[in-house]
Chains A and B, each alone.
Chain A
Amino acid sequence: MKRLPAPFGLLIDRDQPVRFSFENKNLNGFAGDSIASALAANNQWLLSRSFKYHRPRGLLTMAGQDANAMVQLPSNPNALADKELITPNLVVMGQNYSGSLVHDRGALLGLFSRFLPVGFYYKAFFKPRGIWEKWAPLIRKKAGLGVINQQLEPDYYDKQYKFYDVVVVGAGPAGMQAALTAAVDGCEVLLVDENPVLGGSLNYARLDAKGTIAREVRDQLVFEVTANSNITCMVNAVVNAWFADNWLPIISGKRLYKVRAKQTILCTGALEQQAVFHNNDLPGVMMSSAAQRLMHLYGIRPGTAAVIVTGNDDGYANALDLMDADISVRAIVDLREKPKSTGLTKAAKRRGIDIKAGYAVFAAHQRRGHISSVDIRKIISPGICAPQRETVRCDLLCMAVGYTPTYQLACQAGGQLSYDDKSAMFTLNNLPDGLQIAGSVDSYWDLGNCLEEGARAATIATNALGFTEADIPDAMTKESHSPNHSWPIFAHPKGKEFVDFDEDLTIADIVNATRDGYEHIQLVKRYSTCGMGPSQGRHSALAAARLVAAATNRTVAETGVTTARPPFAPEHLGHSAGRSFYPARRSNMHYRHLEAGAQMLQAGTWYRPAYYGAVADRDSCINAEVTNVRNNVGLVDVSTLGGLEIRGPDAGEFLNRIYTFGFVKQSVGRARYALLTNEAGVIIDDGVACRFSDQHYYVTATTGGVDRVYQNMLKWNAQWRLDVDIANVSSAYCGVNIAGPKARQVLAKVCSDIDLAAEAFPYMGVRQGSVAGIAARLIRVGFVGELGYEVHVPQQFGEALWDALMAAGQEVNMQPFGIEAQRILRLEKGHIIINQDTDAMSNPMEVQMGWAVSQKKPFFVGGRTIAELEMKAPMRSLVGFVVTDSKAPIPMESHLVLDGEQMTGRVTSCNYSPSLGKPIGLAYVHPEVAKAGSQITIRSTGGMLVQANVVSLPFYDPQTARQEL
């Protein structure tokens, strides 16, 4: 097809041909062509097959607002052919067909359409029970559009924040004027438009008989907008939702912009609606504006012989455009009985177009899958035509019967959509503060009014922001003429008058939904799926509301429309998923672990060494690490532990109230176990409290729990008002635990200013001094049950500390150990891990830690509940168990403890103990079997029942002599 000469073809670059393929056929277009326009330029009008009946579909809106234009690209299915540009060698395929796009076997379904009524799924698969399971795989195979390429490497998507005083959505005349007014008044303005160029309808619509005004106004506004440094223009960008406080997600390319606007002005325009008649979905039947877009934006003739069905003057303007493009206009079928005489209607008459006033297109007919003629009839009452017909041959039918405001964003902001019976149009009201609308979205159609309203909306915004104190002019009077015809719907004996193209829903489907008892528009939507397809009711909401209103004897205003939820337009998953942040924390010793061959695991945000060695040797590596600690000395990174500084005159009293133990009388230089419960007496954390001075405690907390502990402390002291300061210094300290019989020997090599002798620095003692020249806090703790010292140093000294200790331990072959070995070592000692051996119900008595609860304190958090629980018989007990059958599978965490068929508990920890040579574990059991010597049954892997003996804790070194060496 030869393109129309300039100024037709605004968006294409005729000097840059682009070769691409569609359905394996090589085609040519120009740079700037959308897939749909390039296909049209090659006389390829069939774009897709409909979802349900596989009917042939062509372009409808040329605005990316309908599902007809969905095609398959290598990178993604459901690409909108009228928005996506062609690129060199782009491979485009149709989708949703069996066989070929032209000869689709799925189209046979249309023959059975009378057996597929509305609510078919609900009716057909409801009975007999279980039948749905049989049908579901078949239906699912048929459902869905397009194919996902699972081999595709994902593209790089990301996000960016933007901040503006005013965001104007839509760069048509009202939008550009609003942006200019706000910018001139000093605001930082973002002007967003989904199209490639500014101008909106001025780029393709004809506003006057001569056809010059739109272009002149556009050129002037675009010049002023682009020259204004206060305005940022973002084209090819979709404002995809409105969220509270004018938070606007804008999608442009592969980036999601998160825009904060102080004021938002919606100039989103209006969406043209289709007439509803027999075969209104044939390729070649399109919106009047789509035909104008094809001509003005891409230089393409949308047909050779056209009929226009209209209810307004826009149809006449289109007819003039078509004639300017040398297209034969066979008739204007005007639904109005007596159209007003205007410049446009007069011009059409002058050019000899046959105008059929008071007529409707009753049916369209096809030849080779494209419209070939229309059957026009006299309207005798709304929706009813006379039997006499007149056939007009054509290959193009343009529909200009009305609009709906592009209301989606306004409704998401809380705007209310009403229906004005007089203008037969949806209108918006009840908009929130900080949001204005202007232009055709606010039912202004005259260009002058749109410009005035754009300026007015901007002045409201600039006044609200304090940039101006101008008088707000009165709103312009709405035009008396409406572009909407009140009933462009004509039922046909053979049906196929489509209300919803996405879901192949006809007049009968909507009416029958109400007859099935679903009278509310929301129920009609869900029952019929009207408006649930990709175009989300953009072209079905108005017709469906009118039909439901008529069928239920209500007004359209009473019927309403369905909710317009985000997103406005389809968005790629990459836009939500792209460039997300997953914080990762590493101790200062991290790379020393890697260099030593550690297998790292992620615990929350932390990277921790699990064990050192090859994955294939996991168990032997862990066992060797355990044995080395028991028999020699090992070094483990404990930097992930939480650390809290509690300082001030009331520090002791504060800890007394927070933790279960007593701390006021704790000696300076001593550490004490600190168990934390919540108000319900449930254990939520533990650690040790080290007293370095009268007014200074350094309290450790679990890796995953410290933030919660810190928040709890702040919360409680906000009430208690104790004279104490709480600081979370977890990241400020790096720490190791040097543990094993030779720990003192190794540490002594690098620590000269602290007397490490057992008497001078006993178990649970704390000291401050230096290790390898680094200021350090030392804590003698026994989590792994051996002579051990935790050494805490400022974070950035961690690696130097590790190096110094490893060097000092070389002589005795000290080895690092990971948290897997640490877990076994502590299990051998019967020490619990919070949140592994405890759950959301665990209290201190259940886990045999009543010893850690002071009975002498007047108060601590959870104390009252614990006192009450102590008076009741326990429901369960955490006990140690040993599996004696060496051939039995080792139970795992969460395996059940059974009493016959009855579940009585569960395993919380279990591992093979290298020190004891058998599997050991902890489990919640019924109190009746909590005594040492009792037998329990555990359902292990594969359902095998494993017998275990309950034993006293700890499993290893029951006299705890080793840690106190």
Chain B
Amino acid sequence: MTEPSPTQALRRSPIYRRHTGLQAQFEQTGKAILVSHYAEPSMEALLAANLGIADLSTLPRTGFKGAGALAWVASQGVKLPDQPNTAVLQTDGTMVAKLSHQELLVVSDLMATGSTVDHLNKQPEASQTYSLPRADSHSWLAITGGAAAEMFSKVCGVDLRTHKFAEGQVAQTSLAKINAVIVRHDLASTPCFYIFSDITSTEFLWDCLLDAMEEYQGVAIGVAALRTLAADR
């Protein structure tokens, strides 16, 4: 089987050239072409436990807002967070973040096996419920590792230290001067933060974050390292 190319799919990460520049190995997960790894996978998982950055922008996600949005999504069998700016996991691994009393962000699991995103996208819109094209409006990056919060403090004014920013907490803030939604979603015992931000600024943000990470020996990592960390219980 030949290795997938980042350009073989119609949906392409805005920074796939950055990955090829780092000699990334790609994989197909569902319909998405993702970076599997850059370095030897087990080594990369070790590096990720310290500080890593992964591009998950081609994985499925969606969003809904409107006065009826929360009730409608809940009526589809989706468990919602109680409070705004928190997130919960569904049984299929899908994560649902409540961004306000009228807005939800729904993101896939790392294997893209969950059906929630697809199911919600296929339903006809209900009254006062409006879908949002989050798969294309926002890039999706993941920052992993024990040094993540320290690195974030160079680019973000919110205290993301793990004892201050609990798992499942959401921060809607500014990251390197662009708007971002940050969700803490640990991979087993490894801190992990998802970043959703303006997709047209992805290259800028990726470069900024890698620059900030250099001090802590942070590296780009593939989804394989994320899965290894998630399974490391």
Interface residues of A (CB under 8 A from B): 158-163, 258, 260, 579, 581-588, 591, 605-606, 639, 645, 647-648, 723, 725, 727, 729, 731-733, 772-774, 794-797, 799-800
Contacts and interface: CB of A to CB of B under 8 A. Distances in A.
A795 B200 contact: yes
Contacts of A796: 11-14, 57-58, 135-136, 199
B164 A797 contact: no
Interface stretch (B22-30, B40-48, B112-120, B149-157): B149-157
Contacts of B13: 796
Interface stretch (B75-83, B126-134, B183-191, B220-228): B126-134
Nearest to A795: B136
10 contacts: A158-B154, A161-B159, A583-B201, A648-B128, A731-B200, A732-B136, A796-B57, A796-B58, A796-B135, A797-B12
B154 A587 contact: no
Interface of B: 7, 9-14, 17, 57-58, 65-66, 128, 130, 132-133, 135-138, 153-157, 159, 161, 164, 176-178, 198-201, 203-204, 208
A723 B201 contact: no
B164 A725 contact: no
B10 A583 contact: no
B201 A585 contact: yes
Contact of A581 (B11, B137, B176): B176
A725 B66 contact: yes
Contact of A795 (B128, B155, B199): B199
A585 B153 CA distance: 23
Nearest to A159: B154
A799 B164 contact: no
Contacts of A258: 157
A467 to B, nearest CB: 15
A828 B177 CA distance: 39
Nearest to B161: A163
Contact of B130 (A585, A727, A795, A799): A727
Contacts of B17: 591
Contacts of B154: 158-161, 579
Nearest to A734: B136
Contacts of A773: 10
A160 B212 CA distance: 10
Contacts of B11: 794, 796-797, 800
Contacts of A772: 10
B153 A583 contact: no
B133 A729 contact: yes
A772 B161 CA distance: 46
A587 B200 contact: yes
Contacts of B66: 648, 725
Contact of A584 (B132, B156, B204): B204
A701 to B, nearest CB: 15
B38 to A, nearest CB: 20
A698 to B, nearest CB: 12
Contacts of A588: 12, 14
Nearest to A605: B201
Given A159-B154, A725-B66, A731 B199 contact: yes
Contacts of B9: 800
Task: Pick from B10, B138, B157, B161 the residue with the most CB of A within 10 Å.
Answer: B10
Contacts of A731: 136-138, 198-200
A805 B185 CA distance: 40
B196 to A, nearest CB: 11
Q: Can you list the 3 inter-chain pairs with the closest CB atoms, starting with the nearest?
A: A732-B137, A585-B200, A794-B136
A161 B151 CA distance: 10
Given A581-B177, A583-B201, A773-B10, A645 B153 contact: no
A158 B154 CA distance: 8
A652 to B, nearest CB: 16
B149 to A, nearest CB: 10
Contact of B159 (A163, A581, A800): A163
A605 B178 CA distance: 11
B98 to A, nearest CB: 17
A774 B178 contact: no
B118 to A, nearest CB: 15
Given A163-B164, A647-B130, A731-B200, A581 B156 contact: no
A584 B157 contact: no
Contacts of B136: 731-733, 794-797
A800 B16 CA distance: 13
Contacts of A797: 10-12, 136
Contacts of A647: 130
A796 B140 CA distance: 12
